[in-house]
Amino acid sequence: MLKRLETLLLGGCKELEELPREVKQLVNLRMLVLTSKQKQLLDNGIGCLTSLRCLVIGSCCNLEKLFNDTDNLKSLRTLIIGNCPNLASLPQGVKNLSSLEKLMFFNSKKTSELESLLYQNNQHLRSLVPHLRMLCIDGFPNFQQLPPWLRDPDNVLDRLAIKNCPDFNELPMEPQKIFKSLQHLEISNCPKLSSLPKDMHLTALRELKVRNCPTLTKICKQGQVKIPRIELDGKVIDLKQLQ
């Protein structure tokens, strides 16, 4: 009967010692949400879930290593990793996630491991560029600019969100070369970001959301940003009044 299971929600189970060995038999599982007290998720059967489309790993305070057996996760489209303060790297096998479209990193303000998660895995994450369509980076105090692998001209991102990164201060100077497909950009609680690239209007960008970024908000209100839809602190701006 369990072989027909499509959704398994174990989020918030902070005392969970380990995943049952039988999890590898859930061949129809499409969504897995996991919280665990394990230090490593090695050889736990997740790599056998050939139908898995969404994997959420959150609030795993002891987690240091993820599983490497990703060869069979050809259906995985969404990967969310959040509040895992001791996780310092991603597995090399991340490059095998050939269907991955959405990647989200969330973290607590107690730590800032994003540099190792994003920068040290440069080559592996670069393999995601041709098909990754959404990236969200939320809650990293030392994050200052987009990682090198994301500046690849083959980038097909159409949604990018940078939230709660107080040191984030720079977007690429030539966005039309990098973000040719970007349609939605959200910047929230990034007070040091004081400008947008001059050529931002040359991209496919249709919507800009800005929240709690005083200087950026001021620039948008002055009509310096030519984007079809602009939302500032939750309010949609009437562009005609700015002209």
Is residue 121 in a domain?
no
Is residue 128 in a domain?
no
Is residue 240 in a domain?
yes
CATH number of the domain at 70, please.
Answer: 3.80.10.10
The tens place of each residue's pLDDT in the chain, 243 residues long, gives 577 899 999 988 888 888 888 888 899 999 999 998 888 887 778 988 999 999 999 999 888 888 888 888 999 999 999 888 888 777 778 888 989 999 998 875 555 555 666 766 677 788 898 999 999 999 888 888 888 888 888 889 999 999 999 999 998 877 777 788 999 999 999 999 988 887 776 678 999 999 999 999 998 888 777 888 999 999 998 766 655
Is residue 125 in a domain?
no
Full domain range(s) for residue 64: 1-100
Round to whole Å and give the CA distance between 216 and 220: 6
Instruction: Record the tokens describing residue 130, joined without a space.
Output: 């041709």
pLDDT value, residue 115: 64
Q: Give the torsion sign (CA, 7, 12, 13, 17).
A: positive
Tell whether 70 and 154 lie within a shared domain: no
Is residue 110 in a domain?
no
Round to whole Å and give the CA distance between 3 and 22: 10
Q: Which of 100, 117, 146 is the last residue of a domain?
A: 100
Tell whether 162 and 77 lie within a shared domain: no
Tell me the pTM.
Answer: 0.89
Round to whole Å and give the CA distance between 102 and 3: 26
Q: What is the three-class DSSP state of 229?
A: strand
Is residue 151 within 8 A of residue 170, CB to CB? The reply is no
Tell whether 93 and 141 lie within a shared domain: no
Count how many domains the chain has. Answer: 2
Q: Which of 83, 100, 117 is the last residue of a domain?
A: 100
Is residue 114 in a domain?
no
